[in-house]
Amino acid sequence: MNIGFIGLGIMGAPMALRLAQAGHQLYVSNLGPVAAELLNLGAKVCPTPRLVTENADIIIIMVPDTPQVEDVLFGMEGCAETSLNGKTIVDMSSISPVETKRFALKVIELGGEYLDAPVSGGEIGAREGTLSIMVGGNPDVFDKVKPFFELMGKNITLIGGNGDGQTCKVANQIIVALNIEAVSEALLFASKAGADPGRVRKALMGGFASSRILEVHGERMIKRTFAPGFKIALHQKDLNLALQSAKALAVNLPNTATCQELFNTCAANGGSQLDHSALVQALELMANHKIA
Amino acid sequence: MNIGFIGLGIMGAPMALRLAQAGHQLYVSNLGPVAAELLNLGAKVCPTPRLVTENADIIIIMVPDTPQVEDVLFGMEGCAETSLNGKTIVDMSSISPVETKRFALKVIELGGEYLDAPVSGGEIGAREGTLSIMVGGNPDVFDKVKPFFELMGKNITLIGGNGDGQTCKVANQIIVALNIEAVSEALLFASKAGADPGRVRKALMGGFASSRILEVHGERMIKRTFAPGFKIALHQKDLNLALQSAKALAVNLPNTATCQELFNTCAANGGSQLDHSALVQALELMANHKIA
């Protein structure tokens, strides 16, 4: 199959490489960090999204945020500057669910097909082909693209129609951030009250407080290992999507808003490149300094 | 062993019963909902904490809140109105960790021993002897009381010195409340964005958003089954302990404070006797009404 891949960054490059390694002909917007391997596997560089679209049947997009997806699709020399008849656009970036619905409608109006398919699992998941992929779109289109998703991920779910993949990803990022904040408040409280936070964490692991975050990020907080992992700067971007979409949908997300402020506090103090479990340091900072 | 048991309420009564069933002589402050069984097993009623203390070696307290424990220990006809030499006070109520340290010091000064040993697991756990018990105190005292804890619970942990059991319980209640709030924000967001919250929950269960709360309370939110479980009114009491202690310890718990406000919103609208997963309804209420 002729596959277009636009956006070969930290995530996109290893994902594209896995498709090429499975024998697919790739048309890529750039070569990124896996240039030599891709060229060996016969990948061809097309300098614009329009040219990628002309050559490929399925066009995968993996770019940083909503405006970049809009530009790839509908900007100058974008995908929509050639015919979208018979073309399937698969946006694997993490972007606004509200804008995604608009993009999908427009692509479908122009004769194309559209899936939103954001991922979680990070760079390691991308390299190992173990990403979780949350998909929104038409079930027939999903079935057609699924074999390609299976080259990149393990836990692949069709959530619903267009936008629902992005909605699921946002919901994931809300829970992850808020569970990190929950563990931060609990362990800081324990430590301020004079208890050993490590023992508290262990005692809580079997019960109703147990979570993947208590397990993994709770341990990072206790061992003070804040190398990423998933960077605060990226989680700020995701909570920004949550809060912007919440405004558009008229829904109140009070603790998500506070979490974003705590990430902002981390960033203000030089922590934006640390793992998101370093959010605990924003609370510590507020409890441990002198105001004169 | 002669065991005193003060506070035979919904939790205390089945806990006391398990001790009597194991063959221990009980001295109880009242008979509560298991009166006939306790009398059959030879339990004796002592109308004051002082009389319970005179008769028993280990005195277990299971009352609603901090002021009641203070009253049992140091009030009129309280435990401290007789000699505490050789007596072990075991407070299994959920109360302030800060006040607990004060109570423990005072009991020890008076020649007694003190453990704080709050539980989680609810009425069912109390009846079945499967409570989690989080203990603070001297390791030798813990070892002495452990066989009795084992008649009432399964997951029994010595967290540290006096107060640390209560601290661990507060940490537990912070995480449980905040994880419920996290799942509430995520599922309400998903639903407002037009996605099926049930499918979103399922897709998130394998990954970093997974938690016991997403599993159990997330399902209650989706199925709209808000029969308790653990009542909002009780969680309000526990978050009050968290927020009061946080003030005493000078630590900032922003999302715990917001959670309490959301529980207050539930209570304001008639929901205080519902399961704590009904917190989602406070967010729904704020998103679904008309302001004219």
Residue B61's pLDDT band, with cuts at 50, 70 and 90, is: very high
What was the ipTM of the complex prediction? Answer: 0.95
pLDDT at res. A206:
81
pLDDT at res. B290:
87
Between the alpha carbon of residue A210 and those of residues A154, A201, A221, A228, B171, the distances in Å are 24, 9, 16, 22, 12
3-state SS assignment for residue B113: strand
DSSP class of A118:
-
Is residue A132's pLDDT more than 90? yes
Residue A76's pLDDT band, with cuts at 50, 70 and 90, is: very high
Contact assessment for residue A115 and residue A141, using Cβ atoms and an 8 Å cutoff: yes
3-state SS assignment for residue A43: coil
Quick: pLDDT tens for A30-40. 888 888 999 99
With an 8 Å Cβ cutoff, are B178 and A185 in contact?
yes
CB-nearest to B155 from A182, A187, A206 is: A206
Quick: pLDDT tens for A227-255. 998 999 999 999 999 999 999 999 999 99
Quick: pLDDT tens for B73-108. 999 999 999 999 999 999 999 999 999 999 999 999
Cβ neighbours around A225 below 10 Å, total: 12
Is residue A203's pLDDT more than 90? yes
Residue A205's pLDDT band, with cuts at 50, 70 and 90, is: very high
Distance CA A242, CA A225 (A): 27
Question: From the CA of B222, how many Å to the nearest CA of chain A?
Answer: 15
With an 8 Å Cβ cutoff, are B207 and A120 in contact?
yes
Q: What is the mean pLDDT of chain A?
A: 96
Share of chain B above pLDDT 90, in %: 93
Is residue A158's pLDDT more than 90? yes
With an 8 Å Cβ cutoff, are B251 and A183 in contact?
no
Active-site residue B169, yes or no? yes
Task: Give burial (CB, 10 Å; 0-12/13-18/19+) of A272.
Answer: middle
Give the residue from chain B lying closest to A168, CA to CA. Answer: B200
Average pLDDT over residues A95-116: 98
Distance CA B224, CA B226 (A): 6
List all residues of chain A from 26 to 85 with a beta carbon under 8 Å from chain B: none
Contacts of A285 (CB under 8 A, 6+ apart): A265, A269
Distance CA B188, CA A284 (A): 30
Residue A292's pLDDT band, with cuts at 50, 70 and 90, is: confident
Average pLDDT over residues B209-230: 96
Share of chain A above pLDDT 90, in %: 93
Distance CA A32, CA A155 (A): 26
Q: What is the mean pLDDT of chain B?
A: 96
Is residue A289's pLDDT more than 90? no
Mutate to test the interface with A, among B98, B155, B251 (most CBs of A within 10 A): B251
Residue B110's pLDDT band, with cuts at 50, 70 and 90, is: very high
Share of chain B above pLDDT 70, in %: 100
Average pLDDT over residues B188-212: 96
Quick: pLDDT tens for B28-44. 998 888 889 999 999 99
- Considering A119-128, B28-37, B158-167, the range whose residues carry the highest mean pLDDT is B158-167
Using alpha carbons, select from B90, B232, B103, B247 the residue that is nearest to residue B173. Answer: B232
Residue showing tokens 């949908």: A249
Distance CA B16, CA B76 (A): 24
Contact assessment for residue B283 and residue A252, using Cβ atoms and an 8 Å cutoff: yes
pLDDT at res. B256:
98
Flag whether residue B131 sits within 8 Å of chain A, measured between CB atoms: no
Largest alpha-carbon pair distance within chain A?
Answer: 67
- Looking at per-residue pLDDT, the higher value among A123 and A258 belongs to A258
pLDDT at res. A32:
83
- The number of C-beta contacts closer than 8 angstroms across A and B is 254
**pTM reported for the whole predicted model:** 0.95
Average pLDDT over residues A49-57: 98
Contact assessment for residue B282 and residue B226, using Cβ atoms and an 8 Å cutoff: no
Average pLDDT over residues A96-107: 98
Residue A81's pLDDT band, with cuts at 50, 70 and 90, is: very high
CB-nearest to A286 from B155, B187, B252 is: B252
Dump the DSSP string for B249-288.
HT---HHHHHHHHHHHHHHHTT-TTSBGGGGHHHHHHHHH
Question: From the CA of A7, how many Å to the nearest CA of chain B?
Answer: 25
Contacts of B157 in chain A (CB under 8 A): 199, 202-203
Share of chain A above pLDDT 70, in %: 100
∠ CA B126-B130-B135, nearest 5°, is 90
CB-nearest to A175 from B155, B164, B183 is: B183
pLDDT at res. A96:
96
Distance CA B272, CA B56 (A): 38
Residue B229's pLDDT band, with cuts at 50, 70 and 90, is: confident
Dump the DSSP string for B49-96.
HHHHHHH-SEEEE--SSHHHHHHHHHSTT-GGGS--TT-EEEE-S---
Flag whether residue B195 sits within 8 Å of chain A, measured between CB atoms: yes
Using alpha carbons, select from A274, A287, A249 the residue that is nearest to residue A101. Answer: A249
pLDDT at res. B247:
97
